[in-house]
Amino acid sequence: MRIRLVVVALTATALAFPAPAAAQNFGAPPSGFTVENPVMRHIWALGMDSSQTDRLAQTLFDSLGPRLTASPGMDAAQRWLVKIYQSWGIEARAEGYGTWRGWQRGPTHLDLVTPRARSLEATLLAWSPGTPKGKPVRAPLIILPDVADSTAFAAWLPQAKGRFVLTSYPQPTCRPDDSWEKWATQATADSMKARRTAAQQAWTARLQHAGFGATRQLQQRLQRRLEGAGAIGILTNNWSQGWGVDKIFDATTDHAPVIDVSCEDYGLLYRLAANGQGPVVELAAQSQALGEVPVFNVVAQIPGSELPNQYVMLSAHFDSWDGGSGATDNGTGTITMLEAMRLLRLAYPHPRRTILVGHWSGEEQGLNGSSAFVHDHAAIVDSLQALFNQDNGTGRVETMSSSGFTLAAGNLARYLAQIPADVTRNIKFNFPGSPGGGGTDHASFVTCGAPGFGLGSGDWDYGRYTWHTNRDTYDKVSWDDIRNNATLVAMLVYLASEDRASCRV
């Protein structure tokens, strides 16, 4: 939610880098430069030979960690980002756009204590309460029953008191379908998939009979109902259909912790409970609700020398879910834009137009940061020449769309023609494309007629393995490709800044 605009201006410190030397020898030329251009060559040389991408990312992903909107982790990461820009002689500021529910994660431990000891792989959902004072709580388990209707559910509800409730579908196998397809006979693989699907549908029906459903919102309503009945906690599993991978979203309860338990461990707990083997677990979970706190985007800029009131923008959301480190969603887009700004500052310190970068917050809650920026900065949006956004994983940029802007399409095609084939070889240019949907931040600009373009990277099992999962971590990133993407973005921004034509109709 947005309540007010607070601009925290942070002034640039002394230049950390010398001005570029135009006559320098920048090493072996890449294949495919179609025009001789010293700025482009310099960007290439810096991007390839002295890339800072993995070094910056290691601090951001590992040490600062995930960047949940309105968390102290996000605040610390934003302060770091502003400082990095300032150390490069780039003006940067954190710009307030409203408030959000503040929350801080602490450690979580979940152990099976009866009928045997086993430490379970478990993650507290974002915004979930912890156990009272973070102390361990022991309780038996109960499975959400299959009741006839919501009246029968209400009659059952007192049994949830003093127990951990298992509310998710127990996967019959945490072996992904493609493994079954690879190793089983076709008949066995088919029958497993049919059983999985039927059981999943039956579980959805179970949720519906109780008066809820399988959507996140309806499950959260169920969790609050169980909390109201005195459940000690709620155990869930949101398996992402790959080895060891769960999606970790949020909870809306006030007292009862909501935990994602790995597919294997959730299945274990469920089978023990279903077979009357008396499972008891002990949970110690720490977290802190911080009330409504201010939230910020980080914006940095290199002022234009000829047309300072015309803008070319780099864009990537900075916030993440916090089951992993937010490495590929959207640490990679973040590092791409950050590194591209470094290359531009060194190779193109006096751009013709103003170069702006937006590191948005609140994307995961509904593009909140970028849409607030669009709302609060009509003058920038009105004279925006082009915006390049990246938000999907780690691979090389493989798709670019002109978002339905027919005039822009010609410009983008011209830019791509000037970028070395080493960088652009795999890009499918979608002309005229269609306006960006609601998936990520360039949509905030496109919906008000500003030319925002999405740079789509290769798949790299993003949807299944890293997107919003507990495995979205530093090690998943392909640094060669991030280096390549940062160089591409810097070149596109340079060409758009210098363009004698405009992307605007």
Positions that interact with Zn ion (CB under 5 A): 329-330, 391
Distance CA 472, CA 355 (A): 30
Give the nearest distance from C-beta 368 to Zn ion in angstroms.
Answer: 13
Give the nearest distance from C-beta 329 to Zn ion in angstroms.
Answer: 4
* Residue 438: burial class (beta carbons within 10 Å; 0-12, 13-18, 19+): exposed
Decide whether 245 or 263 has the Cβ nearer to Zn ion. 245
Give the nearest distance from C-beta 442 to Zn ion in angstroms.
Answer: 12
Decide whether 69 or 402 has the Cβ nearer to Zn ion. 69
Give the nearest distance from C-beta 364 to Zn ion in angstroms.
Answer: 7
Distance CA 42, CA 26 (A): 7
Distance CA 192, CA 206 (A): 21
Decide whether 168 or 361 has the Cβ nearer to Zn ion. 361
Decide whether 404 or 463 has the Cβ nearer to Zn ion. 463
Neighbours of 443 (CB within 10 A): 20
Give the nearest distance from C-beta 369 to Zn ion in angstroms.
Answer: 12
In this structure, are residues 318 and 71 in contact, taking their beta carbons and an 8 Å threshold? no
Give the nearest distance from C-beta 362 to Zn ion in angstroms.
Answer: 11
Decide whether 304 or 362 has the Cβ nearer to Zn ion. 362
Distance CA 297, CA 78 (A): 8
Decide whether 322 or 391 has the Cβ nearer to Zn ion. 391
HSE toward the beta carbon, residue 178, CA cutoff 13 A? 5
Decide whether 26 or 321 has the Cβ nearer to Zn ion. 321
For the chain, give the number of residues.
505
Burial letters for 247-278: b for 16+ Cβ neighbours within 10 Å, e otherwise?
bbbbbbbeebbbbbbbbbbbbbbbebbeeeee
Decide whether 301 or 390 has the Cβ nearer to Zn ion. 390
Distance CA 244, CA 471 (A): 8
Distance CA 163, CA 235 (A): 10
Give the nearest distance from C-beta 455 to Zn ion in angstroms.
Answer: 13
Decide whether 322 or 329 has the Cβ nearer to Zn ion. 329
What is the residue-wise DSSP string for 207-239?
HHHTT--SSHHHHHHHHHHHHHTT-SEEEE--B
Distance CA 505, CA 51 (A): 36
Give the nearest distance from C-beta 333 to Zn ion in angstroms.
Answer: 7
What is the residue-wise DSSP string for 249-274?
-B---SSS-EEEE-HHHHHHHHHHHH
* Residue 491: burial class (beta carbons within 10 Å; 0-12, 13-18, 19+): buried
Nearest CA among 447, 467, 463, 451 for reference residue 400: 451
Q: Which two tokens stand for residue 139?
A: 């309780």
Decide whether 219 or 330 has the Cβ nearer to Zn ion. 330
Give the nearest distance from C-beta 387 to Zn ion in angstroms.
Answer: 16
Distance of CA 56 to the CA centre of its chain: 17
Give the nearest distance from C-beta 388 to Zn ion in angstroms.
Answer: 15
In this structure, are residues 13 and 89 in contact, taking their beta carbons and an 8 Å threshold? yes
